Amino acid sequence: MDVEPGGEDSAAGFDERRFRHALGRFATGVVVISTGSGDTLHAMTANAFMSGSLKPPLIVVSVGTRALMHERLMRATSFGVSVLSNEQEPHSRHFAGELQSCFAPRFAAVDGMPDVALLEHALARFAARVVDRHPCGDHTLFVGEVRLFSLGEQAPLVFFGGRYASVAHPVG
């Protein structure tokens, strides 16, 4: 295995494009992060999402500092994460900036959390209260304590090597 130079000592030889390509070798799910509701609703596609803790129930999203969502989350007290099913690729493309013609995504309000709306029919949905923010290079990690969640049974939408894919429907 060839290893590329990395880190501060080899900054001159660091190839950001190849680094991004290498990161793309990690298959991820696809989520839509949302904050606000009604006329203030803003949503974006991301694949930088993870569980943070079971006790307390924490989730983490990583958002680039130049994204409009970053500005919104810096002021927000809550946010939502909708995990997309393999039937929701148009949602992913839409919220990544590729507006889909004749496409009207539907969000559902979250009881008791007026600034959170979640995509209908998502594979899993989380409504969280922002509990921490951590700078991380050109991104910020937003930590949310999960207040409500729901779980569906569809197969997930997957992103690998710059392309969408799906996996067989999980058993059990």
CATH number at 140 reads 2.30.110.10
Whether residue 44 is contained in a domain is answered as no
Query: How many CA atoms lie within 13 Å of 92's alpha carbon, on the beta-carbon side?
Result: 21
Whether residue 42 is contained in a domain is answered as no
Let me know the angle formed at the C-alpha of 165 by 159 and 167, rounded to the nearest 5 degrees. 110
Whether residue 113 is contained in a domain is answered as yes
Q: CB neighbours (10 Å) of residue 123?
A: 24
- pLDDT at position 2, please? 59
Whether residue 76 is contained in a domain is answered as yes
Q: Give the pLDDT confidence of 116-128 residue by residue, as tens digits.
A: 999 999 999 999 9
pLDDT, greater one: 170 or 44: 44
Whether residue 3 is contained in a domain is answered as no
Q: CB neighbours (10 Å) of residue 172?
A: 2
DSSP notation for 104-170? ---EEEETTEEEEEEETT-SEEEEEEEEEEEEETTEEEEEEEEEEEEE--SPBEEEETTEEEE-PPP
131: containing domain: 55-159
Task: Over range 133-138, report the average pLDDT.
Answer: 97
Whether residue 172 is contained in a domain is answered as no
Whether residue 75 is contained in a domain is answered as yes
Tell me the range of 7-16, 20-29, 149-158 where mean pLDDT is highest. 149-158
Question: Which residue matches tokens 């995509």?
Answer: 119
Whether residue 32 is contained in a domain is answered as no
Q: What is the number of domains present in the chain?
A: 1
> What percentage of residues in the chain have a pLDDT greater than 90?
72
How far apart CA 44 and CA 80 sit, in angstroms, is: 11
Which residues, at least 6 apart from 1, have a Cβ–Cβ distance to it below 8 Å? none
**Residue 35 near residue 72 (C-beta atoms within 8 A):** yes
Q: How far is CA 172 from CA 30, 54, 102, 121, in A?
A: 21, 21, 35, 19
Structure tokens at 138: 């050109």
- pLDDT for 10 beyond 70: no
- pLDDT at position 9, please? 47
